[in-house]
Copies of this chain bind each other. A is one copy, B any other.
Amino acid sequence: MFKKVLIAEDMEDINKGVFSLLTELGVSQIDQVQYCDDAYLKVKRADLDSVPFDLVISDLSFKVDHRSQTYPSGQALVAKLKSDFPSLKVIVYSVEDRLQAVRTLFNQHDIDAYVCKSRTGLKNLTQAICEVAKDGKFLSPEVSNAFSAENELEIDDYDISLLDNLSKGLSQDEISALYKKENISPASLSSIEKRLNKLRIQFNANNAIHLVAIVKDLGLI
C-alpha cells in the first residue's frame, strides 16, 4: 500500500472524507492542499528532498478565488505532474463524467485511475487505490464505457452539421427535410435519430439539450 499520499481538493469536507479513507487503508503520511499550485509545489519539494509522494489524488475543478494560479485546473495540474514525475501515480477524483474528458486524461496524461464522485464514490476510490497500488488502472463504472466502445468515437462533419442545426433551433424533422433538399445523406428522420443517439452515448448526454450544451462547451460548434 502507499505510504505518502497527497490530496488536492478544494472542498474541505471531501478532502476530509478522502483523508479518513486513506487513514483506514493504513496510509501513514497524508498531505492535503486546496490549490493546484500548492499541490505541484509540495510534490516538487518532496522530490527534491528525496522523500517523494507515492500517489496524488486530485480533483478536476477548483473554484477560483483571489489567489491567481499557475495551474488553473486539475487537468493542468495532472498534466504537469505526470510530465515532470512519470513514476508518480495519479488518481483523478471528480464529479465530471464526460467521456471525452476521461479519455483525454488517460490517453494524453496517462493517469492511473479515474473515479466519479457519486453516492458510491468513496467505495470506488478505495478500489481504485488498491488497484493502482498493484500497478493497475481503474475506471469508475459511471464512465466505464469511455473505452469500451473504442470503435467509433470520432466525430465527422456530418455530426457537426447535425449538432449545429440542432443548436440553431431546427427540429429533427426539419433537419431531415433540409438534408433531403440539399441531397445530404443520410437524410431520413430515423437516421438522424440514430446518429444523435450515438452522439448522446458518446458524450454521456441525457438528452439533446444536454448534448448541445456539452459540445458547445467543448467548442465543437
Contacts and interface: CB of A to CB of B under 8 A. Distances in A.
Interface of A: 11, 13, 66, 68, 166-171, 205-210, 212-213, 216-217
Nearest to A207: B169
Contacts of A11: 66
Nearest to A174: B206
Contacts of A66: 11
Contacts of A216: 213, 216-217
A168 B210 contact: yes
A168 B213 contact: yes
Contact of A209 (B68, B169, B206, B217): B169
Contacts of A169: 205-207, 209-210, 213
A203 to B, nearest CB: 10
A221 to B, nearest CB: 8
A168 B170 CA distance: 20
A166 B68 contact: no
A217 B169 CA distance: 14
